[in-house]
Structure 1
Amino acid sequence: MKIDKFFLAQNMAFLISIPPESNLAKLLSFCLATKVREKTPGTEILKLTYQLMENPSQLPYWTQDIMGHDLDYRTEEWEALAKMDIKDAKEFMAILEQELKDLNF
């Protein structure tokens, strides 16, 4: 995958605009803590992630799938998952969706 400078700048600006204690920040921190197998194509991860966006109530199952994708559950992944403090997946994702709508990006 070739990433150009504009794409990188756009994504960096998006990340900078996210409030650090938001559900969105917690989900992105979880994503950064996870690892995938070296030979896993980005399209496979994109497909799994898009499925979550289409069915937000699957968040608990998605996190387990993503964490276990490399067949290694690391401490950093568990810590990031715990910081998400998910008590109700639908509510967590509803708040996240509202946070996305409220971003001034």
Structure 2
Amino acid sequence: MKLDRFTLAQTMAFLISIPPDSNLAKLLTFCLTVKVREKTQGLDLLKLTYDLMENPSNLAYWTQDVMGQDLDYTSEEWKALGEMGIKNSDEFMAILSQELENLNL
């Protein structure tokens, strides 16, 4: 996947606008913590994450799938997962969706 400067700037602006204590911030922190295999294709990750957006109730399974991409569950990954504080996947993702709608970009 080739990113141009505008896409990078747009992504950076999006990240800067996210409140640090939000569910969205927690999910993105988890994503930044997770390591994947070197051979994992960007399109495979895009499909995996798009599937989560289509089926938010699968959050628990999705986190395990993402963490298992490199076949090594690290303490940092477990910590980031724990800090998400997920007690109910549907509720977590509903709040996240509302946070997305409320972002001012």
Same fold (TM over 0.5): yes
The residue number in structure 1 matching 2:58 is: 58
- Which blocks of at least 5 consecutive residues in structure 2 are unaligned? none
d(CA) in 1 for partners of 2:2, 2:57: 32
Unaligned runs of 5+ in 1: none
Give CA-to-partner distance per residue, 1:28-71, whole Å, 9 cap, x none.
00000001100111000000000000000000000000000110
Q: Tell me the equivalent position of 1:15.
A: 15
The one-letter code of the counterpart of 2:43 is: T
Percent identity over paired residues: 71
Alignment correspondent of 2:44: 44
CA-based RMSD of the aligned residues comes to 0.5
CA distance, structure 2, for counterparts of residue 15 and residue 76 of structure 1: 21
The Cα of 1:78 is off from its aligned counterpart by 0.4
Q: TM-score, normalised by structure 1?
A: 0.98
Q: Number of aligned pairs?
A: 105
